[in-house]
Structure 1
């Protein structure tokens, strides 16, 4: 059986990295694997890249470093030679056997988007499936891909801090953006099912609160409510003002404040108990949301309670 899925170990082999590059993956659309892999080599051996098994899937590549005079092949034929600039996005059709000459340092993010994910997005929206993505060999100045890439690079650097809700949200956004921008996909407007029923919102919040670590996937919550993951994500944000992963972060901070208002547990104990990977992660998120560090918030809270300045 030929293994498919151009991410992780297979991207590492394609680029002859000699190691498995960092990867994040989700299965939020039709259980299809959507993934992002960060690849970097500052001193590569010169030669043609490897080859992926042909499949109905795409690589969306965000370049993080200039790559002058990049030579690209498709289906065994030399396609083009052009300067690739950091910050640009390229799309590759994996049915066409894309390859390129590795002869200088490189650094990129590669988003793996298979056909079942694109079809699942369309089916969940009740929209027409797209025929294909535009994979013309030109770089795109795509601010959305850059933004999503910057967010996911934080998760790739600190995978223990990247909860599954966050990964699911970012990958769903990436897939929808790519389908719309390069495939002509159009969301079908949902009017009758535009909002969550009160019981759905309550159950969704209960599910999120029960797993402060954010390990429960979006798909599991949406399925329990009888909704598609894309509709649930939009409706939850409409109801709360926040996507599920951001709502959970705020709930973690609210829970942490209750614990910090009491003497006893250390900051590291509070951090772990409310689902953060470590005290450093807790401090960054708490400070961003509350405007002060957990330690400063606790001193102020306990001083107020005890009458101390």
Structure 2
């Protein structure tokens, strides 16, 4: 089992969950695994949460459910009680054995950030190492960025088959960079690596993405082909193409689907798979959002005749 797989298992045990919580994993910083995990129990068995084995890592938690009068523990002792509102962001240092009393329904997102990932981000940003994150027990933050990233990743957690690796890599990299800057004082060298990719790099990168419409390739794999860090490659690719890699890939899937729909007798379900979508409903949802009409409606208009949406 991988390091993050172990963490997800431990998080389930920490919260006394009977089933493994849904998770998305990335390895976009030095190959170190990061994860986002959604945890929920509407009828928990009352008692003190489990305990994490101390490690040099942090948890960032976005609360999705109010949790009033929460009894908080640290280093084996009850420290305080605090009201935990939905929408707030909390940071935990896993070296201090954070725990709490579970006695009411809970629903949260947890982002797992190992120290080595923060070190990798500092290195890629050409910035001094982040010594510590602002982990103050019971102190919640009104963080609109974490809420936005959390809401976006929650959609991916609910539809893992439709979530491509480039999207996971991009969102988790953005989350890590934001946390490092907002709570760790990271100050990246914004003057460095401002430009886009060289024309041959942009062409080759687009060809690699187009050859993998299913989105199995990671940002780390593609960036490594050019000897670039993930953060530099992502920024430069967006400068060159106008879109981050995962959004460029979605547009390419739509373009491919349009080409395939020129074949009248090809079912939309088959086109969906051929163009890299997980299924027909995924295809319809993305195509409609990008183009403004459903695939069936687009094909009817393009071919000038009646056609069903199947």
Counterpart for residue 308 of structure 2: none
Counterpart for residue 78 of structure 1: 78
CA 144–166 in structure 1, closer or farther in 2 if over 3 Å, else same: same
1:145 deviates by 0.5
Counterpart for residue 213 of structure 1: 214
Counterpart for residue 270 of structure 1: 271
| Counterpart mapping for 1:20-169 below 5 A | 20-137=20-137, 138-169=139-170
1:262 deviates by 2.2
Worse overlay, 89-98 or 195-204: 195-204
Q: TM-score, normalised by structure 2?
A: 0.95
Counterpart for residue 286 of structure 2: 285
| CA deviation vs aligned residue, 1:47-68 (integer Å, no higher than 9, x gap) | 1000111111000000000000
Query: Aligned residues, how many?
Result: 302
- Is there any run of 5+ residues in structure 2 with no aligned partner, and where? 306-310
Whether the 8 Å contact between 2:51 and 2:97 is mirrored in structure 1 is yes
Whether the 8 Å contact between 1:23 and 1:37 is mirrored in structure 2 is yes
CA 200–190 in structure 1, closer or farther in 2 if over 3 Å, else same: farther
Q: Following the alignment from structure 1 to structure 2, what is the Cα–Cα distance between the partners of residues 4 and 286?
A: 33
| CA deviation vs aligned residue, 1:146-200 (integer Å, no higher than 9, x gap) | 1111111111111100110010000000000000000010111244662211111
1:261 deviates by 2.0
Whether the 8 Å contact between 2:72 and 2:99 is mirrored in structure 1 is yes
| CA deviation vs aligned residue, 1:201-244 (integer Å, no higher than 9, x gap) | 11110110010001100000000011000000011111111110
Q: TM-score, normalised by structure 1?
A: 0.95
Whether the 8 Å contact between 1:9 and 1:19 is mirrored in structure 2 is no
1:80 deviates by 1.7
CA 7–192 in structure 1, closer or farther in 2 if over 3 Å, else same: closer
Q: Following the alignment from structure 1 to structure 2, what is the Cα–Cα distance between the partners of residues 59 and 195?
A: 33
| CA deviation vs aligned residue, 1:88-119 (integer Å, no higher than 9, x gap) | 00000000000000010000000000001100
Please give the secondary structure, in 1, of the residue aligned with 2:304.
helix
- Is there any run of 5+ residues in structure 1 with no aligned partner, and where? 305-309
Whether the 8 Å contact between 2:4 and 2:35 is mirrored in structure 1 is no
Q: Following the alignment from structure 1 to structure 2, what is the Cα–Cα distance between the partners of residues 82 and 126?
A: 38
Please give the secondary structure, in 2, of the residue aligned with 1:8.
helix
1:275 deviates by 0.6
RMSD: 1.3
Whether the 8 Å contact between 2:35 and 2:111 is mirrored in structure 1 is yes
Whether the 8 Å contact between 2:35 and 2:113 is mirrored in structure 1 is yes
Q: Following the alignment from structure 2 to structure 1, what is the Cα–Cα distance between the partners of residues 208 and 194?
A: 21
Structure 1 stretches of 4+ moved >3 Å? 3-7, 190-193
1:40 deviates by 0.4
